[in-house]
Structure 1
Amino acid sequence: MKYPKLLSIALVSAGLIFPSCDSFFDVNDDPNNITVARATEILPAATTNLGFMGVSDLMRYSNLIMQQFSAQGPVLNNTFTNYERYSISDSDVNNTWNSIFAGILADLEQLIKVSTENGSPHYTGVAKILKAYTYQVTVDAWGDVPYTEGLKFGEVQYPKYDDDAVIYPQLIALLDEGIADLNAPTSLLEPNGFTTIYAAPTWAASKVKWERLANTLKLRMFLHYSESDPAFASQQIRALISSGAEFMKANDDNFQMMFLNQAQRQNPLASIEGGSSEINFSPTAFWWI
C-alpha cells in the first residue's frame, strides 16, 4: 500500500514544480519588448527613411542626368562619371527600390492601418500624404510600378505593375483623402511630436505645414500633365488656386529632415564627399564629361 502513496506524492510535487507548459514559457515574455508597432514609432521610422531617400541614389542619378551636378572626381572613370554617361544598371537602383517598398511604403501602409483602427485620423492623413509623395517620386523615376497590389504583403507575391498614367489620378485622390483626415474634428493621437519632419509643439502648427505640402504636391502633379494634356493641367491648377488652398510659401515650409553632425546621422552626401573621396560630386553650371 505504500507504493501508490509515494507515487501520488511524487505527482503532486511535480505539479507544484511544473504547473503547466504555458505558464512555464510565459516567463520569456518581455513586457518591455512590444510585439505590435505603435503609430508613434512607425511615423518617425518612415520620415527618417524618407529623409535618406531624398539624398539617395535617385537624387544623385537625376541630378547628374539633368546636368545640375557633374562627376568631377580625381579618377576619370569613377562611379559618378559612369552615371553621368547614363550607365545605370538594375543593380544600381536595387537598394533604393527595396528601401522604398520594403521600408517606407510598408511602414506607411501599416501606419494607415494602425491609426485608422485606434481612431487617430490625423496620423492617417499624414501617412496618406507621405504615401502619395513616395509613390509620385517612384512613378517619376521608374514609370510603371506596383500600386494596386504593391503593398499587399503576404497576400500577393508577384504584384502587377500599374500604368503610371493610371496611378497619378489615384495619388491626387489620396492627397485629397489625406487633407480630409488632417481636418478631422477629433483624433486620439496627434503626429506633431513623433516625427522628424514638420515636428511642432502643437498639432495646429504642424497641420498647416502638412496641408500646404499636400496642396503643393497636387500642384506639382498637375504641372506634370502640362506636356501630355495642357488643357487639363491648366483647368486643375486654376481650380486648385481658386479653392483657396494654401501652398508652401517660405523656407519654413520646406519638406525636409534635418540631419545631425554625428556618425550614422549625417546627410548621406557628407559620407560620399568626405575623406579621400571628396569632390566626386559637385554642382556645375555646365555639363561636361
Structure 2
Amino acid sequence: MKKKLMIFASSLLIGFTSCNLDINTDPDAPSDVTPDMILPAAENVIAWTVGNAMYNYAGFFAQYYEQMPEAQQYDALIEYDINPSSQIIDRAYTQLYAGALEDLKTISESEDVTPADRFAVSVLRAFSFQLLVDNMDQAPYSEALMGSENPMPKWDGGQAIYEGVLAEMEEAEKELGESAMTCTDLLLNKNVSQWVGFANALRLRMYLRFIDAGVDVAGYTEKVKSLVTANQFFSGDVKFDVYANETSKYNPWYGQNNISLANNHCASYPIIAYMSQTNDTERLAYSFKEAKATKKYEGEIPGVKNNLKGSKFNKDYSGMQYYATKPVYFFTQSELRFLIAEVYIRFINDDAKAKAAYEAGIEADFAARGLTGADALYTTTVSWASATTTDAKLKLIYMQKWVALCYMDHMEAWSEIRRTDCPKLSSKSAADMASGDISGYEAGDLIAPMTNALGGQNMIKRLYPSYSASQLNKNTPTGMKLTDPVWWDKN
C-alpha cells in the first residue's frame, strides 16, 4: 500500500513537469520535500519515460506492432512521417530533464544523504543520459541543469556523454564503502548490491557499444571480459513494480493505450512470422491475441495500412494483450544473460558458457512473464546446437533478445537492433509482400514500410532533438536526418 500511495503522489509530478519546457528549472517541484522522498519521484518519472513515451514509439520502430487499420493515432510513426516539429520525443525529454534529472541533482547536492544514495543517483543519471543519447545522439550534459546560470546549455556529443556518466558511476562507487541507502527506493529496495549489479549491467551494455563503434576496442574488450568473469550483476529484473488496476495507478502504457487511446495497436508481421516459425506459442499468447477473422496470429505488414484501406480491418490482425499492473523494466535479467552470452562467444571463446547464458536468457524471459516451458523452445527450434558457426550463434542470441524485449523494453530493443543489425532489414519490399509474394522473405527480418516518408528501404536511425528545446535554446543542433545514425550505430 505504501508503494501505491507514493507512486500516486509522484505521478502528479508528471502532469506538472510536462508543462515546464525549461530543462534547467522545475518550478513545480515542492521545495520542502526531503531527499529521501525525492528519489521515488525521480524513479517514477524515468519509469514513465521508458515505459510509456519511448516504449510506445520504439515498439513501432522495432516492428513489434503497427497501427490498427481502423485507427490513425500513430500513422506518422508507422510511415516515418516525422519532421523536426513533430515533437515525438518532447515530453520524454522534458520529463527526464525537468523531472528526473533535476530531482537527482537535488539529492546529490544534499548534505542529508549517504554515499550509497549518491551512487544510486549516479546510476540513474547514467541510465537517463543513455536513453537521451540513444534517441538523439546529442544532448545537454556538461552544461545542463545549471538553472539561470546557463539557460542555454550546449549539446554534447553522445560518446562524450557515455564517457561522462560512466566516469560519474566510477567516482561514486569509489566512495561507497559500507554505506547504506537512506532514500526511499521503489526500484531496488535500498539494496546496494543490486545497485552495483545494475551499474555493472549498464557498463556492459555501454562498453559493447564502444566496441562496435570502433572506439578503443582492445580496452573495452578487456572491460567486458572482466565484467562477465567477475559476474557481479543484479539478480531478478531491475523493474519499477508499483502499479495497480485502479484509475491513475495503471502501468503508464496501459493507461495511455488501453484506456485513453484504445484500439490503436496490432501485431507487426516480422515478430509474428518469427515467433510462429519457431513455435514460440507461450510468448505469442502472452503478447498478442488471435485475429478475430482467422483465429490465428496475424501481423500487419509495416506501412501498408493506408494502402489497403477498405480491404483490411481490425479483425484481420492480432490485437495486443494488455496488463494494467505490468512493471516497467529498466533492465531485464534476460537481456543481461544475452549480453553475457555475446561476450562469451565473441571475446572469451567459451562455447559452453555462451550456451548456458543464452538458455538462461530465454528462461529468465519466460519467468518474468510468469510462463513455463522455456526448455521446450531452446532444446528444439532455437537450440544452440542448431547454430554451427559463431555468426549463427550470435544471430540466435540477437534474435532471441529481440523476442525477449518485446512487451518488456522496447527502447532497448530498438537500440540493440541498430547496434547488432539484427533482425536485419529484408530486401523484400512491403508492396510485394502485401500483394501476397513472400518468396525470399526470412521470418523475423524487418520490412521497410510500404508508405515511407524516408523513401525506399530507409529506416529510422534516430529522432530529431526536442522541438521545444530548439525554440528555447539556440544551441540545439539542427540539420540532422532521421537516417543519420547515433554515434555507436555503425550498421
Q: TM-score range by the shorter chain?
A: 0.7 to 0.9
Q: Which residue of 2 aligns with 1:139?
A: 133
What residue is the counterpart of 2:112 in the other structure? 118
* Higher alpha-carbon Rg: 1
1:79-228, aligned counterparts within 5 Å? 79-89=73-83, 90=85, 91-114=87-110, 117-181=111-175, 183-186=176-179, 190-191=182-183, 194-199=184-189, 203=190, 206-228=191-213
Secondary structure at 1:157's aligned position in 2? coil
The aligned residue for residue 238 of structure 1 is 225
Q: Alpha-carbon deviations, 1:235-260, whole Å to 9, x = none? A: 22113234x251234xx233334322
Q: Quote the residue 2:8 is aligned against.
A: none
**Structure 1 residue 150: deviation in Å?**
0.8
Distance 2:260 2:113 in 1: 51
How far the C-alpha of 1:278 sits from its partner, in A, is: 2.7
| Counterparts of 1:210 and 1:41, CA distance in 2 | 18
CA deviation after TM superposition for structure 1 residue 110, in Å: 0.8
Note the C-alpha offset of 1:137.
0.6
Counterpart Cα distance in 1 of 2:253 and 2:74:
13
Distance in 2, Cα, partners of 1:276 & 1:43? 28
Q: Which one of the candidate residues 34, 37, 41 is aligned to 1:38?
A: 34
Number of aligned residues: 240
Q: Distance in 2 between matches of 1:108 and 1:276?
A: 30
| Partner of residue 58, structure 2 | 62
Q: Percent identity?
A: 21
* Separation in 1, partners of 2:59, 2:101: 24
Task: Output the amino acid matched with 2:221.
Answer: S
Describe the SS at the equivalent of 1:140: helix
Superposed CA RMSD in Å reads 2.2
Choose between structure 1 and 2: higher helix proportion: 1
Partner of 1:88: helix, strand, or coil? coil
- TM-score, scaled relative to structure 2: 0.46
CA displacement at 1:95 relative to structure 2: 1.4
Tell me which amino acid in the other structure corresponds to 1:184.
Answer: G
SS of residue in 1 equivalent to 2:66: strand
Check the 8 A contact 1:39/1:123 in 2, yes or no.
no
Q: Which runs of 5+ in 2 are unaligned?
A: 1-29, 271-300, 304-491
Does the aligned pair in 1 maintain the 2:243–2:251 contact within 8 Å?
yes
Structure 1, gaps ≥5 residues long? 1-33
Do the aligned residues in 1 keep the contact of 2:119 with 2:173 (CA within 8 Å)?
Answer: yes
Residue identity opposite 2:42 in structure 1: A
CA distance 1:236–1:134, change in 2 (3 Å)? same
**Aligned-pair distance for 1:81?**
2.5
| Alpha-carbon spacing, 1:283–1:235, altered in 2? closer, same or farther (3 Å) | farther
Deviating beyond 6 angstroms after TM superposition, the runs of 4 or more aligned structure 1 residues are: none
Which residue of the partner structure matches residue 49 of structure 1?
45
CA offset at residue 49 of structure 1?
0.8
The answer to whether residue 250 in structure 2 is matched with residue 266 in structure 1 is: yes
Amino acid at match of 2:106: Q
Structure 1 position 288 matched with structure 2 position 302: yes
- Please list the CA deviations of residues 111-152 of structure 1 after superposition, one character each: whole Å capped at 9, or x if unmatched: 1111xx225111111111101110111111111111000111
Partner of 2:240: 256
Q: TM-score, normalised by structure 1?
A: 0.75
How far the C-alpha of 1:72 sits from its partner, in A, is: 2.4
- Alpha-carbon offset, residue 217 of structure 1: 0.3
- Which residue among 65, 72, 91 is the counterpart of 2:68? 72
Q: Which amino acid aligns with 2:186?
A: T
Q: 1:241 to 1:149 in 2, by over 3 A?
A: same
Q: Deviation of residue 275 (structure 1)? A: 4.7
Instruction: Indicate the SS of the match to 1:226.
Output: helix
Q: CA deviation at 1:261?
A: 1.5
Per-residue CA deviations over 1:31-58 (Å, capped at 9, x if unaligned) read xxx8433111111110111111122322
Residue 67 to residue 41, structure 1, CA distance change in 2 (3 Å) = same
The one-letter code matched in structure 2 to 1:253 is D
After superposition, the Cα gap between the structure-2 partners of 1:180 and 1:260, relative to the gap in structure 1 and judged at 3 Å, is farther
Amino acid at match of 1:236: K
Residue 279 of structure 1 corresponds to 263
* 2:233 maps to 1:247: yes
Q: What amino acid does structure 2 have at the position aligned with 1:216?
A: A
CA separation in 2, counterparts of 1:133 and 1:239? Answer: 21
The structural deviation recorded for 1:283 is 4.1
In 2, Cα distance between equivalents of 1:141 and 1:161: 14
